[in-house]
Amino acid sequence: MIDDVLFVALPYATLTLAVIVGAYRYFNARFSYSSQSSQFLESKQLFWGSVSWHYGIIAILLAHLLAVLFSTAWGILLGTSLRLYVMEITGLALTLVTIAGLSLLVLRRLANPRLMVVTSKADWLMLAALLSQAVLGFWVGFFYRWGSAWYLHTIVPWLTSLATFQPDVQGVATLPLIPKLHILNAFLLVSIFPFTRLVHILSFPITYLWRPYQLVVWNRRRKAKPGRMID
């Protein structure tokens, strides 16, 4: 019963909340769909933290997504011990990069009073949930080895069953506590997603791919030479 609540009802509820609130915010507060950059307050630590965080998390999320969309090909990719070792080591390294980048972003805000002022409670909740998710992911990868392989036989079938509206929790119900917490924290992130600056990932400027070139013309007033007037 509890597994049905946590791994069936909760995912559907959080996704519904994210879609409804996200759409409402998009159509009623369009200008809030941004990361609300604080670069003008501090840029050096932001650069190193943001680069590490974004490159690490994008690669990790892409690996999770590819395993779901192309599970057969992913299984073939991990068909030898060497490739499985490489995937596991790469995943752990990327997770450490992600944790380091996010930790630097958190410390940046804690160390700068001006950044503390512009950081809301929702931002702190978001940062805590993201950091927890990254740490839990490293824990799973380090202590529950070969996750790249068993992910295909536990999480992927469950996600597929949710997507086809035929939920089957048999795969995730047998997982240890930490992997379950990793999954549940992911849905916590989904639930707070529409209320925070995380929504900026939906405003990726994909229209730039087909937008006409923009011509920029500088209009600067030249300094007048002695004895000469310029309109």
Domains of the chain, by residue range, sit at 2-209
Buried b (16+ CB within 10 A) or exposed e, 72-105: eebeeebeeeeebeebbeebeebbebbbbbbbbb
Q: Which of the pair, 95 or 106, is modelled with greater confidence? A: 95
pLDDT at 154 over 90: yes
**Residue 87 · residue 146 · CB < 8 Å:** no
* Distance separating alpha carbons of residues 102 and 56, to the nearest angstrom: 10
pTM > 0.85: yes or no: no
Distances (CA, A) of 12 to 4, 74, 107, 129, 190: 11, 26, 34, 19, 11
Share of the chain above pLDDT 90, in %: 50
Q: Which of the pair, 117 or 179, is modelled with greater confidence? A: 179
pLDDT at 46 over 70: yes
Sign of the Cα torsion 132, 133, 139, 142 reads negative
* Distance separating alpha carbons of residues 16 and 51, to the nearest angstrom: 31
- Mean pLDDT across 170-178: 92
Sign of the Cα torsion 99, 176, 72, 170 reads negative
Residue-wise pLDDT for 67-103, tens only, equals: 999 999 999 999 899 999 999 999 999 999 999 999 9
pLDDT at 64 over 80: yes
pLDDT at 40 over 60: no
2-209 under CATH 1.20.950.20, yes or no: yes
